[in-house]
Chain A
Amino acid sequence: SQQGEEDPQALSIQEGENATMNCSYKTSINNLQWYRQNSGRGLVHLILIRSNEREKHSGRLRVTLDTSKKSSSLLITASRAADTASYFCATPYNGANNLFFGTGTRLTVIP
């Protein structure tokens, strides 16, 4: 399947530390997307990285993509308690009619 898998499943850090989450996928892609979900709420798009890009930044977020290893990482720098959420990677498939979501990394930032 196309499914992305995030690692770790759960991560707990102190406020101010950096958080790194990883995503692996199985087949070739033309982009990979990261989303955030606060508990029981809707998902919010964070960043999209294209297959010809290796790194992308947005504020305190840094995303890398290694197509040779079929993996991506999301780095949140100087974390805040408000960053506590689940983070999902997603890749398009089915002729780009759908996004296949991983099962997510649950991040807890302790104040």
Chain B
Amino acid sequence: DADVTQTPRNRITKTGKRIMLECSQTKGHDRMYWYRQDPGLGLRLIYYSFDVKDINKGEISDGYSVSRQAQAKFSLSLESAIPNQTALYFCATSKEGLDTGELFFGEGSRLTVL
């Protein structure tokens, strides 16, 4: 079983709909992240969380919200989806700060907003 699991893996929705992408991990890491990947732009950080009570905005948080329901669960919501949010979304975890450690990624959630 994957250590970082994302659901759904693929989703097609319409403009204005509310969408939730879920992430769960079995690695026991406190730090969790949501990234977005667009062709030619690399990965950009949306939100990150270092524990259940700690939520921080990343580079591109506008239009997104997150919920850290438990150490193992971190959800990303699009309250009112728009077409330019069409992208591949990744959840990731880390055991320690990124000045010394690495990220562990899920398999991604491909979202298409029509």
Binding site for B on A (CB under 8 A): 3, 30-31, 33, 35, 40-45, 48, 88, 92, 96-99, 101-104
Contacts and interface: CB of A to CB of B under 8 A. Distances in A.
A101 B90 contact: no
Nearest to A102: B42
Given A101-B42, A103-B40, A42 B99 contact: no
Interface in B83-114: 88, 90, 92, 97-108, 110
Interface of B: 4, 33, 40-43, 45, 48, 56, 58-59, 88, 90, 92, 97-108, 110
Contacts, number: 57
B1 to A, nearest CB: 14
A97 B48 contact: yes
A104 B104 CA distance: 18
Most buried by A among B59, B98, B100, B106: B98
Contacts of A45: 102-104
- Leading 6 A-B pairs by shortest Cβ distance: A96-B99, A42-B105, A45-B102, A92-B98, A101-B42, A101-B43
Given A41-B108, A92-B97, A96-B99, 11 more contacts: A30-B99, A42-B90, A42-B105, A42-B108, A44-B105, A92-B99, A98-B45, A98-B59, A99-B103, A101-B43, A102-B42
